[in-house]
Amino acid sequence: MPPTDHELMHRCREDASSFDHLVERWQPPVQRAIARLLGPTADVDDLSQEVFLRIYGARHRYQPRAAFSTWLYRIVLNVSRDAHRRRWRQRVPLVDEPWVETEDPHAAAQLSELRSGVSRALARLRPRHREVIVLRHFTDLTFSEIAEALDQPESTVKSRLRVALEKLHHELSRQGFAPQELEE
């Protein structure tokens, strides 16, 4: 059985190869989250490296009070927020990633158009709304994990997500997507 994230964090205090395992395990989700939070013009590799440097620097202070992913995504949010401030509050479209593959060319074209629309709509949201959508729908954190990562009460997270989804729906409607297209 592979070691847990908590075990790897404790081991990496003495053994750098344990940290390498953590990086291998978490680098793809960290990079996806950064790309969704900041868009394609972000230097995802550098920001991901910054996340892992912060984790490595905190290895001696790490305490497994919650899920490792909660702690990790809090660092991702902090690094992303710092990068966002450095980028002069420039709005950019988010990375399009394939969510579902399809053989039907017409369906594939519609899906591609919807993905582009979602990326554009997410990019138009305020960072706090974008963050809660990304953390809930793209990283599968629970509401309590998101609340801990954002250092907000769970009720605030739920309320912010509701507002963020309404704003996202409005942005998509503005782009011409019909409500039934958004519910599929």
Q: Is the CB of residue 127 less than 8 Å from the CB of residue 45?
A: no
Q: At CB < 8 A and 24+ separation, what contacts does 175-180 make?
A: 175/117, 175/120, 175/121, 177/114, 177/117
Residue 97's pLDDT is 47
Which class for 33: exposed (0-12), middle (13-18), buried (19 or more C-beta within 10 A)? buried
Fold that domain 5-86 belongs to in CATH: Rna Polymerase Sigma Factor; Chain: A (1.10.1740)
Residue 113's pLDDT is 79
User: So where are the chain's domains?
Assistant: 5-86, 105-182
- Per-position pLDDT tens, the chain of length 184: 889 999 999 998 888 889 999 999 999 999 999 988 887 667 899 999 999 999 999 988 988 888 899 999 999 999 998 887 776 444 444 444 444 455 667 667 777 777 788 888 888 889 889 999 988 888 878 899 999 989 999 999 999 999 999 998 888 888 887 655 555 4
The pTM for the full model equals: 0.63
Tokens of 56: 């490595």
The CATH number of domain 105-182, selected from 3.40.50.280, 1.10.10.10, 3.40.1030.10, 3.30.499.10? 1.10.10.10
> Fold match between 5-86 and 105-182?
no
| Nearest CA among 43, 3, 39, 37 for reference residue 21 | 3
Residue 78's pLDDT is 92
Q: Is the CB of residue 38 less than 8 Å from the CB of residue 76?
A: no
